[in-house]
Structure 1
Amino acid sequence: MKLDFSFLWTAFIKLLPAVPTTINITVVSVLCGFIIGTFVALSRIYKVPVLNQISTVYVTIIRGTPMLTHLMILYVGLPLLIDGLGKEFGWSFRSVSIPMIGFAYISFSITAGAYFSEVIRSGMQAVNKGQLEAAHAIGMTTPQALRRIVFPQAFAAALPNLSNSVIGMLHGSTLAFTVSVVDINAQAQIVASTNWKFFEAYLAAALVFWGLTILIERLTALLEKRVNLYNRGGVA
């Protein structure tokens, strides 16, 4: 087999328009997943009645089943639910109005929430409980102590694992092509179908993902440096 470097470059250029779609899926799922994960982590740490049990079941089910399964269940089940409710209550909104990328946003956010919750929970538990008690002793409320004392330290402790989770969601975004979303992976398949040079097309896709992964690692390293400087009492 002879590698066609000219087509490899052509495929690389043709993949670039799909990069924003992949980044959008990753960013939306990470941000929403972080919010969900924080809520779930707090519910489990503080043993909130009912919410603690629901959160535990949610994390167990999501982490115990594949990411692709979540997407397929949502892709098939959500339209049935929406159309059923629409018919029952006379709503004009139907599932056909949902863009395909919307299913990826929702599914991947739910998946990310379960994984982020464990990362956030471990980060918060790494903070000495005495600091929260000291904050209460000087008159801080629990939300104030969490925001100003616990969360910054927990974020610093969890940052490496958070970075790994973000990279995992970036790579997991390739599953979006199963619901007809043209991300980097789907675009590689489209490009390759023009002359059946799938090896070069997927190699170009791998290079794009590698570049995005390195970018995330570099940004994490810079953020970690600033966070550690702040924790040492320096000027960020």
Structure 2
Amino acid sequence: MRLDPTFIWTALTMLLSAIPTTLAITAVSMLCGLVIGTAVALIRIYKVPVLHRAANAYVTFIRGTPMLTHLLLIYFGLSFVLDSLSSRYGWSFNSVSIPMIGFAYTAFSITAGAYLSEVVRAGLLAVNKGQLEAAYSIGMTTRQAMLRIVFPQAFAIVLPNLSNSTISMLHGSTLAFTVSVVDMNAKSQIVASANWKFLESYIAAAILYWGLTIVIERLASVMEKRMQVHSRGGVS
């Protein structure tokens, strides 16, 4: 087998059309996961009755099982539940009408939520409790204090971990091809199978993933520098 360098460029151009799907899976999963993770972190920190135990079980289960398992459980389990309810109550809805990418969004958001809950919890606990007490002393409510004082500081603390989690999700999104979502990984396999240029196609995919990873790292670095300047009272 001989390497065809010219086809690497051809494969790169063919894979570009799959970048939006890969980025969409990563972005949606991280944003939804951050919302879920923040809620779970607050529930665990304040030990909300009943929900506290459920949150602990959720984090333990998700962190203790593979990401691919979550995707398959959602794909088959959610379809089964929705079709059963539809059949029982006479709904016209059917799981077949759900876009395949919807299962990826759901599964990966749930996965990200468990991991990000630990990141957010660590960030919130790292903020000095005295600042929360100071906020109460000037008449702020808990909601105001959390939004204006605690969360901004916690975000600055966890930003490096958030960027790492985003990169992990970008790489984990390759599993979406399991449920027939054509992301960059799936596209590279399609290109390789159609042209019998497997090594070249996978090299092209690796270059694109590497490039996207560098972009995420650079953006996180810029945000981190801006937040450091802001915390010192400078002008960004």
Fold match by TM threshold 0.5: yes
SS across alignment from 1:29? helix
Summarize deviations over 1:9-45 as a string: whole Å, max 9, x none. 1011100000000001111101100100110011011
Q: CA deviation at 1:235?
A: 2.8
* 2:145 aligned partner: 145
Q: CA deviation at 1:195?
A: 2.7
* 1:162 aligned partner: 162
* 1:91 aligned partner: 91
TM-score, structure 2 normalization: 0.98
Query: How many matched pairs?
Result: 236
Q: CA deviation at 1:87?
A: 1.0
TM-score, structure 1 normalization: 0.98
Question: Please, which moves more after superposition, 209-218 or 190-199?
Answer: 190-199
In structure 1, C-alpha distance between the alignment counterparts of 2:2 and 2:125, rounded to whole Å: 54
In structure 2, C-alpha distance between the alignment counterparts of 1:126 and 1:199, rounded to whole Å: 46
Q: Does 1:221 align with 2:213?
A: no
* 1:131 aligned partner: 131
Q: CA deviation at 1:2?
A: 3.2
* 2:43 aligned partner: 43
SS across alignment from 1:194? helix
* 1:69 aligned partner: 69
Q: CA deviation at 1:229?
A: 1.2
Q: CA deviation at 1:226?
A: 1.1
User: Percentage identity across aligned positions?
Assistant: 68
* 1:105 aligned partner: 105
Which ranges of 4 or more aligned residues in structure 1 deviate by more than 4 Å?
Answer: none
Unaligned runs of 5+ in 1: none
Q: Does 1:185 align with 2:189?
A: no
Summarize deviations over 1:54-112 as a string: whole Å, max 9, x none. 11110000010000000011111111100101111111111011011110000000000
Summarize deviations over 1:145-201 as a string: whole Å, max 9, x none. 111110011000000001000000100000000000000000000101123211110
**Cα RMSD, aligned residues only:** 0.9
In structure 1, C-alpha distance between the alignment counterparts of 2:233 and 2:125, rounded to whole Å: 22
> For residue 55 of structure 1, what is the amino acid of its counterpart?
A
* 1:118 aligned partner: 118
